[in-house]
Amino acid sequence: MDRVDLAVIGGGVVGALIAREAVAAFPDATVTVLERGLVGQGASGRSAGVHFPRGATERVRSMSQHSERAWAHLARELDLPIRAVPATVVAAGDADAVAAAYLRLGEASSRPRGWAVPPGSRAWDLAGCQYADVQGVAERVLAELRGHVTVLEGTEVTDLAVGGGHHRLTLAQGQRLLARRVVLAPGPWIAQPAWADLVAPLGLRVKKIVAAHLDEVPAPGDPLVVFHDEDAFLLPLHERRHHLFSYTCDRWDVAPDDADLVLAPSDLDDARAVLGRFAPGLTSRCTSGRVFCDAYSPGREPVVAELLPGLVFAGAANGSGYRLAPAIAAETVAALHPTPTSPPPRRQS
Ligand SMILES: Cc1cc2nc3c(=O)[nH]c(=O)nc-3n(C[C@H](O)[C@H](O)[C@H](O)COP(=O)(O)OP(=O)(O)OC[C@H]3O[C@@H](n4cnc5c(N)ncnc54)[C@H](O)[C@@H]3O)c2cc1C
């Protein structure tokens, strides 16, 4: 039976960054990433991949700052598919509350084309925004780690058991893997039989996420527009030559493998209804889109939690798993710290 110091279950953007952070923290440890499909093709593969420096709580604001710095560093080092974008925030109501939620708001300097600030609302510029091809990011991060990390794709973990100081992972092909430590980074696959009971006490739920695609070619300076009160945004996707409109879909308790997790006509109607408040001229362009889901926590903060000694859950990023992934990875490796280093990590054969 193969043995490793650390098994990371899930090859999404969160699992990829955890593997990277773990290799940096424990250079002598053996690390294996297990992915049931292909790297980056879960929630990460459907992500709009937007980062804006925002957080409803102090912890999330701090995670956002940490992640922004980390993404800037990684983008340079690994030549990641991440693109800076100018941004505008539109909100009505309490300007102080808006200013407290965002980290780098300034006076609005220009009016983007195609939409208007509704009466009673105000616009601000927001610095530090970017968007990414999140699947490409996860692939690049793990490609760079090969040689230090074993990446097993097409390898579903079907059972997880503890015994004799090790975690015993059963894989779909029938092999077993003994891991001293395990990180569970399953994205929205929180209810897999191998860990549903372990994860249940965290109170996580899975919500459908919808982003409409607008058949409108972005102009070079088009900004990301964040509609704060609606928790929606309009993003120019320059590489794909269309806009994306993300709005809040309120359908809960879906599962990532549900056959009906698809773009319904009512999803586009809902998207048009929200977009129409700001940009009535764009609603007729709202003709297609992407649909998937993500795990949400009761406190709407990402979860890094030790479920059993040496078994850490990482995720439930509430639709923000790309932008907060570096901070989630840092917290996860900190949670592993006392165990792989004492006694010091060693390669096992
Ligand atoms: C439409 C959409 C738009 C979004 N937009 C944004 C955005 O603009 N900004 C942002 O920050 N976030 C956004 N998100 C959220 C973000 O994409 C997710 O939070 C993030 O991708 C989660 O990453 P992850 O690695 O935790 O999960 P995933 O990418 O889902 O990775 C988990 C992996 O675990 C694997 N897995 C599951 N079960 C097993 C098993 N038994 N054995 C082995 N492997 C297993 C899966 O195959 C999967 O690849 C969006 C999400 C969606 C759906």
- Give the residue carrying structure tokens 């001293």: 180
Q: How far does the centroid of ligand 1 lie from the alpha carbon of residue 261, in Å? A: 15
- The pLDDT tens digits along the chain (349 residues) read 799 999 999 999 999 999 999 999 999 999 999 999 999 999 999 999 999 999 999 999 999 999 999 999 999 999 999 999 999 999 997 888 898 999 988 888 866 666 778 888 899 999 999 999 999 999 999 999 999 999 999 999 999 998 778 999 999 989 999 999 999 999 999 999 999 999 999 999 999 999 999 999 999 999 999 999 999 999 999 999 999 999 999 999 999 999 999 999 999 999 999 999 989 999 999 999 999 999 999 999 999 999 999 999 999 999 999 999 999 999 999 999 764 444 434 444 3
Pocket of ligand 1 (CB under 6 A): 9-15, 34-37, 41-44, 46-50, 134, 156-157, 185-189, 192, 194, 209, 211, 290, 292, 294, 315, 317, 319-323
- The residue whose CB lies within 8 Å of the most ligand 1 atoms, and thus the one to mutate among 17, 35, 131, 246, is 35
Closest CA to 347 of 171, 143, 153, 148: 148
Domains 2-47+135-203+299-341 and 87-128+205-296 share a fold: no
Residue with CA at minimum distance from ligand 1 atom 15: 319
- Give the integer Cα–Cα distance in Å for 189 and 293: 10
- The residue whose CB lies within 8 Å of the most ligand 1 atoms, and thus the one to mutate among 173, 291, 294, is 294
Amino acid at 236: P
Concatenate the DSSP letters of all residues of 197-245 into one string. Answer: HHHGGG--EEEEEEEEEE--PPPTTPPEEEETTTTEEEEEETTTTEEEE
345: left (phi over 0), alpha (psi -120 to 50) or beta: beta
The domain segmentation of the chain, as residue ranges, is 2-47+135-203+299-341, 87-128+205-296
Superfamily of domain 87-128+205-296: D-Amino Acid Oxidase, subunit A, domain 2 (3.30.9.10)
Pairing of strands 31-34, 2-9: parallel
CA distances from 30 to 7, 9, 183 (A): 9, 14, 13
Domain 2-47+135-203+299-341 listed as CATH 3.50.50.60: yes
Closest CA to 181 of 336, 34, 307: 336
